């Protein structure tokens, strides 16, 4: 009897995987090890063949050059930090940190185009084989197409532990399945909280009391519809899937890609039912609405009211951007509000339950607008096998290099990579993932308090977040889930990043 109770109360624990990296000598990165080896050999040759003093001086110079590769600030090497700073100074000097649109701007046609990485994108429409219209964001430079699914997760209703575990496994299977076709390069899951306007509730109340004969009851319901949403938030969920065009026709003709997605899209949202998520494709008008609302929160009420009345908002993709935006080193100001974007510095170091992200996902009274974007980058089946074997080999090499007591983190990395190899052989997929967290405040004075609250919530969620310094505008666009993938727009050198 007691054994059965003990099994029932067990909660499944999950791991965060391992960070892919190449380890060289003495635990240094592969680039730092290569430079150190070259510097040591060069200094030794000079010292032996010419002058010992010159050899020591040359060794000291190499040490100074290599040090910024080894010393890290946050999760970046010092070379990468310096390169980001130089690029930021160039942006500030050229005025590219300030964006102005509209009739009195330099934007062609006086449009309110989206800024930055979204400026060159276009929006196209299609209809899938089930008759559902969908919008398709096209980025010509990378020949990438992004569709957005509106999602309604099951929520936090009473579920047994086996049911939760099964839903989590089905979500993992769904992500693994994204890597099978080979042309899906990313899936971004977005959960955001925005203030509730109460329009939808008011409309439902008005429809429900049309046939009411009690004036008192009708008045009570109207007053409740006004008071109930006050100070509350509504949670919205989306899933953006980015496809890579694989033929010449699809790279240049969005209509060809729309025909392909019309065939494949229903399976993409019907398979989510196994993970407890209902989903449907968002139309082009819905995509424009949430993007415009994100850059211009003041339009939120009008957009929701038009949606409830089933009327078109009349905003084109070329006019979905802000009228003004200014990018600072550590925040982003757009249309009178201030947003701060955080990026994931490191995943949870220890095992966790399926409720680990609840503190970040749950609406908070002091954070009116917040958005968590989980970015998944699936490997294809062939690349996944090579990656897990490479990570395991590197983890074992890092342990074998040390003659003394091996750290627990190094041993854990070996176990994690070995488990990944075994799971991959059994049919599991391999996915890279990261996270972006965005908070939006009405004024700049609210940012310090909101930031401290968010840092506290991220600590409770076992997620290490750091501000996306020097790239707040790009990170804001990436957190929307409209096809902007920061890894494809990296401006720092590979040597600096892998230092």
Three-class HEC string of the chain: CHHHHHHHHCCCCECCCCCCCCECHHHCEHHHHHHHHHHHHHHHHHHHHCCHHHHHHHHHHHHHHHHHHHCEECCEEHHHHHHHHHHHHHHHHHCCCEEECCCCCCCHHHCCCCCHHHCCEEEEEEECCCCCEEEEEEECCCCEEEEEEEEEECCCCCCCHHHHHHHHHHHHHHHHHHCCCCCEEEEEEEEEEEECCCHHHHHHHHHHCCCCCCHHHHHHHHHHHHHCCCCCEEEEEEEEEEEECCCHHHHHCHHHHHHHHHHHHHHHHHHHHHHCEEEEECCHHHHHHHHHHHHCHHHHHHHHHHHHCCCCCCCCHHHCCCCEEEECCCCEEECCEEEEEEEEEECCCCCECCCCCHHHHCCECCECEEEEEEEEEECCHHHHHHHHHHHHHHHHHHHHCCCCCCCHHHHHHHHHHHHHHHHHHCCCCCEEEEEEEEEEECCHHHHHHHHHHHHHHHHHCCCEEEECCCCHHHHHHHCCCCCCCHHHHCCCCHHHHCC
Same domain, 130 and 224: no
On whether residue 34 sits in a domain, the answer given is: no
User: Does the residue 456 lie in any domain?
Assistant: yes
> Mean of the pLDDT values across residues 294-307?
89
Summary mean pLDDT of the chain? 82
268 with 222, same domain? no
Residue 381 pLDDT class (50, 70, 90 cuts): low
Q: What's the pLDDT at 495?
A: 63
* Structure-model confidence comparison of residues 157 and 154, the more confident one: 154
127 and 215 housed in the same domain: no
Q: Which of 230, 254, 285 is the last residue of a domain?
A: 230
- Residue 2 pLDDT: 42
Q: Are residues 174 and 151 in the same domain?
A: yes
pLDDT of residue 389: 67
Same domain, 183 and 139: yes
pTM comes to 0.84
- Top-confidence residue, 287 or 422: 287
Average pLDDT (402-411) is: 58
Binning pLDDT at 50, 70 and 90, where does residue 4 land? very low
Lowest mean per-residue pLDDT among 4-8, 113-117, 141-145, 424-428: 4-8
> Is position 343 within any domain?
yes
- Residue 32 reports pLDDT greater than 70: no
Both 136 and 170 in a single domain?
yes
Among the residue ranges 150-164, 266-280, 305-319, the one predicted with the least confidence is 150-164
Considering the domain boundaries, does residue 170 fall inside one? yes
The yes-or-no verdict on residue 350 having pLDDT over 70 is yes
Are 256 and 349 contained in the same domain?
Answer: yes
Mean pLDDT to the nearest integer, 146-159: 84
**Domain span including residue 288:** 98-196+234-379+429-488
Same domain, yes or no: 370 and 433: yes
Question: How many domains does the chain fold into?
Answer: 2
Contacts 24+ apart (CB under 8 A), 83-92: 83/491, 83/492, 83/493, 83/496, 84/469, 84/470, 84/471, 84/492, 85/470, 87/470, 87/491, 87/492, 88/329, 88/470, 91/327
Boundary of a domain, candidates 215, 230, 245: 230
Decide if 221 is inside a domain: yes
Which of 183-197, 331-345, 407-421, 449-463 shows the lowest mean pLDDT across its residues?
Answer: 407-421
Residues 111 and 223 grouped into a single domain = no
- Among the residue ranges 1-5, 392-396, 419-423, the one predicted with the least confidence is 1-5
pLDDT, tens digit (0-9, with 9 covering 90-100), for 233-268: 788 999 999 999 988 899 989 999 999 999 999 999
Q: Is residue 116 part of a domain?
A: yes
In a domain, 74, yes or no: no
Same domain, 347 and 223: no
336 plus 211 within the same structural domain = no
On the question of pLDDT at 320 being above 70, the answer is: yes
Q: Give domain status of residue 408, yes or no.
A: no
Asked if 218 and 364 sit in the same domain, the reply is no
Over residues 86-144, the pLDDT tens digits come to 888 998 999 899 999 999 888 888 999 999 899 999 999 999 999 999 999 999 988 99
């Amino acid at each position: 009897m007691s054994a059965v109770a003990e099994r029932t109360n067990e909660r499944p624990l999950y791991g965060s995987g391992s960070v892919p990296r190449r380890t060289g000598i003495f635990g240094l990165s592969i680039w730092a090890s290569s430079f150190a080896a070259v510097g040591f050999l060069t200094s030794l040759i000079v010292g032996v063949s010419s002058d010992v003093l010159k050899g020591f001086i040359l060794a000291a110079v190499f040490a100074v050059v290599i040090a910024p590769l080894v010393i890290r600030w946050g999760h970046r090497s010092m070379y990468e930090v310096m390169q980001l700073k130089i690029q930021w100074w160039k942006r500030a000097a050229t005025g590219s940190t300030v964006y102005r649109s509209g009739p009195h701007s330099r934007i062609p046609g006086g449009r309110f185009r989206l800024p930055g990485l979204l400026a060159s994108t276009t929006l196209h429409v299609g209809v899938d084989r089930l008759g559902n219209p969908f919008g398709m964001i096209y980025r010509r430079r990378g020949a990438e197409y992004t569709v957005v699914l509106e999602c309604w997760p099951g929520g936090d209703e009473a579920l047994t532990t086996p049911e939760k575990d099964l839903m989590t496994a089905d979500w993992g299977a769904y992500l693994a399945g994204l890597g099978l076709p080979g042309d899906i390069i990313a899936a971004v899951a977005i959960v955001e909280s925005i203030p509730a306007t109460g329009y939808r509730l008011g409309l439902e109340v008005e429809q429900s009391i049309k046939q009411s004969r009690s004036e008192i009851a009708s008045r009570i319901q109207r007053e409740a519809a006004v008071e109930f949403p006050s100070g509350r938030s509504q949670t919205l969920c989306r899933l953006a899937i980015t496809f890579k065009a694989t033929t010449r026709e699809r790279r240049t003709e969005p209509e060809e890609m729309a025909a392909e997605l019309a065939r494949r899209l229903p399976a993409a949202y019907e398979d989510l039912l196994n993970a407890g998520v209902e989903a449907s494709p968002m139309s082009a008008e819905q995509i424009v609405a949430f993007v415009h609302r994100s850059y211009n929160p003041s339009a939120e009420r009008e957009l929701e009211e038009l949606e409830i009345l089933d009327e078109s908002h009349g905003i084109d993709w070329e006019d979905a951007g802000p009228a003004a935006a200014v990018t600072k080193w550590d925040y982003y100001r757009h249309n009178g509000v201030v947003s701060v974007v955080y990026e994931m510095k490191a995943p949870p170091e220890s095992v966790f339950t399926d409720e680990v992200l609840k503190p970040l996902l749950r609406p908070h009274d002091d954070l009116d607008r917040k958005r968590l974007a989980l970015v998944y980058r699936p490997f294809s089946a062939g690349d996944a096998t090579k990656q897990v074997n490479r990570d395991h080999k590197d983890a074992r090499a890092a342990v074998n290099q040390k003659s003394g007591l091996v750290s627990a983190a190094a041993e854990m990395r070996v176990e994690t990579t070995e488990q990944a190899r075994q799971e991959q052989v059994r049919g599991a997929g391999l996915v890279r993932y990261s996270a972006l967290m965005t908070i939006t405040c009405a004024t700049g004075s609210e940012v310090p308090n909101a930031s401290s609250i968010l840092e506290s919530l991220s600590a409770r969620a076992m997620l290490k977040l750091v501000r996306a310094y020097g790239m707040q505008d790009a990170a804001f666009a990436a957190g929307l889930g409209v096809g902007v993938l920061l890894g494809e727009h990296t401006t720092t050198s590979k040597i600096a990043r892998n230092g």
